[in-house]
Amino acid sequence: MQDQEAPPDDDAMVRLRLHRLLEQHSQSEIARKTGHLVAGVNRYVHGARVPAAFCAALVRGLGVNPSWLLVGEGAPYLSDVPAETARLGENLLELVEAMNAIARMRLGSLTGKHHLKVLRELNDALMAHERLREKLNEQSRPLFRRILEDLKTALDNLNLERATELRQAALQLSRLCDDEALARDFTGLQAYHEFQLKNSERFLHFQRRLFLATLPDGALFDERACDEARRIVVALVQMDRMREAHRICRATRNLVGRKGRRWDAFARLENTHGVILTELGFLHKGLAKVQRTLPRLTGMYRRISEATQLRMMMWGGMLPIADAARIGERTDAKSDHILQFACWLGDKAALRTALDYANAPNVEPVWRNGYFRRLATALLEQLERPDPKAARQGVALDPGSGRLTGGEVPLTSACNTELLVAAGDRAGAMKEMMRCEEMRRSLNPEVTPHVLALSLHFRNALRLIAPGARGEPGRLRRAAFRHFETWFRRGYVAYGPVLAEHGR
């Protein structure tokens, strides 16, 4: 029975690596150590197909790393490869040989008189194949587990370049390892990686897979499933799909039942739901949820929630910026909230306080977002020294921050309108504001624009459009007033001065 030959494209790469071996070994030495004829080695070197049996002989006779020989991965010799990886490579080569043996079966002869012999041979080959798969699975499990641990460490340390390399290695090992628990952990780490890369769609894709894999057998819901559902909600929040996130929070709340409300995972879900309610305009309800669940949070969850609570209290008229800056730990999450509110106030003193806080050397990085700091700086400059030319350049979102989400589309336009108003360029501000309104109206109904974008946009509509205006400007002005009236009743007390100034 002749050896199965490698496919042409793979064979060419194996021959290329065979030439690498000839730099250290003569053809006669290779022939002697592999048990092949020199003429055969010469044929393989100069274009003949390289059989799997010869590859196996190179591994056994010269100590060649089979992973390097077959796919070009790792060091050329087993002596330079960790023992576990070497065993994996040897078994991988055996698996290739077993698959070749199955492929050589003349299955067309099953209808002939020798069919029983063929069936026995096929069964033996398949059993050998299965034993090798089991051996690869056992040997790959500790390697897979260790790489996943290293991947998590890299992600926790925000070392995204190393995380990308480790994730690729884990992906290769996942094809050899059938461990369901490790596969689920890998899916979770891929979701975590996409979250850090700000690839919201990919984050949501992996998070949905993880949620389905986490649903327990024999019970509809458990704490782990609750936490994975919350992460789906976080992915939707990243994409500004607040209404969909709100519906999932409500559905999950019903699924956990009375018992589940004692879970820490449920507290995290309720806290996130409070943030979503605030984004949808229900500040009183959202703040109540955040305050109720905050004592049950720990670590990073608690720090981010504390910053969010301060943000709600500022927009709710309960906390001046100067006091917010003195409460709790210094993080860039809290800094972002303070900067946003200072931009809303449009007051020099508030902007200076916010920028002093953001520029302090002891601010802990959590979000690593510099947009609102640049916006506050540009707005303060316009208030101190108006420059319409500089204002028209605007402030762009952070380079490398990922694809813009739907809710971010009107954000820069609304903020750039505010810069033009501060610079005294009324005509330019009016043009940019109508462009922003066109963006807002074209959004998917499921997408909720950023709170600061809505606030600045609608306030500029009341500033720039005369009362009694007709057509599109008139409709925008009426929509702006309704927005402030409604959100003021739901807790956004910071809108009070706008209603007092432009009240009907």
Kindly state whether residues 50 and 170 are assigned to the same domain. yes
DSSP string, 118-156: HHHHHHHHHHHHHHHHHHHHHHHHHHHHHHHHHHHHHHH
Instruction: Please tell me the predicted confidence (pLDDT) of residue 492.
Output: 97
Q: Which helix (H) or strand (E) holds 483?
A: helix 471-489
The verdict on 56 and 167 lying in the same domain is: yes
- Global pTM value: 0.66
**DSSP symbol at 367:** S
The rounded distance, in Å, linking the Cα atoms of 342 and 376 is 7
Q: Summarize pLDDT for 51-80 with one digit per residue, the tens.
A: 777 877 787 788 777 667 766 656 676 565
Report which listed range, 134-143, 403-412, 419-428, is most confident: 419-428
Question: For residue 490, with 0-12 CB atoms within 10 Å meaning exposed, 13-18 middle and 19 or more buried, which class applies?
Answer: middle
Which pLDDT band, with edges at 50, 70 and 90, does 408 fall under? low
Residue ending a domain, choose from 230, 263, 297 = 297
Does 475 map to a domain? yes
Do residues 168 and 221 share a domain? no
Residue 496, CB-side half-sphere exposure with 13 Å CA sphere: 8
Regarding whether 235 and 155 lie in a shared domain, the answer is: no
Tell me, yes or no, whether 161 and 204 share the same domain.
no
CA distance 123 to 140: 25
Helix (H) or strand (E) holding 272: helix 264-279
Longest dimension (CA), the chain: 100
Tallying the residues shown for the chain, one arrives at 504
Higher pLDDT, 504 or 267: 267
State whether 155 and 33 are in the same domain.
yes
Q: Of the candidates 143, 177, 211, which is a domain's last residue?
A: 177
Can you tell me the distance from the alpha carbon of 41 to that of 100, in angstroms, rounded to the nearest whole number? 21
Task: Give the domain range for residue 223.
Answer: 198-297
pLDDT at residue 127 tops 50 = yes
Is residue 210 within 8 A of residue 231, CB to CB? The reply is yes
Same domain as 141, residue 20: yes
* Angstrom distance (rounded) from CA 434 to CA 335: 30
Specify whether 203 is located in the same domain as 169: no
Question: 199, 193, 213: which is closest to 150 by C-alpha?
Answer: 193
Tokens of 417: 């309108």
**Domain for residue 328, yes or no?**
no
Do residues 272 and 234 lie in contact, with contact meaning Cβ atoms separated by under 8 Å? Answer: yes
Amino acid identity at 441 = R
Q: Do 224 and 162 belong together in one domain?
A: no
* Domain presence at residue 305: no
- Do 96 and 216 sit in the same domain of this protein? no
Mean pLDDT across 482-500: 95
For residue 302, is it within any domain?
no
Mark which of 249, 269, 297 sits at the end of a domain: 297
What percent of the chain is predicted at pLDDT more than 70?
A: 78
Domain count, the chain: 3
pLDDT at 111: 52
Please check whether residues 172 and 52 belong to one and the same domain.
Answer: yes
437-452 average pLDDT score? 90
Residue 309 lies in a domain: no
- Whether 60 and 30 have beta carbons less than 8 Å apart is answered as no
- Per-residue pLDDT tens over the stretch 145-185: 888 888 888 888 888 888 888 888 788 777 777 788 888 88
Task: Report whether pLDDT(310) > 90.
Answer: yes
Q: What is the mean pLDDT of residues 326-340?
A: 89
Q: What residues are paired with 51 via a beta bridge?
A: 5
Decide if 332 is inside a domain.
no
Question: Are both 24 and 74 inside the same structural domain?
Answer: yes
Is residue 424 a part of any domain in this protein? yes
Return the CATH number at 209: 1.25.40.10
- Give domain status of residue 377, yes or no: no
Residue pair 63/78 in contact by the 8 Å Cβ criterion: yes
Residue 130: its pLDDT value, please? 65
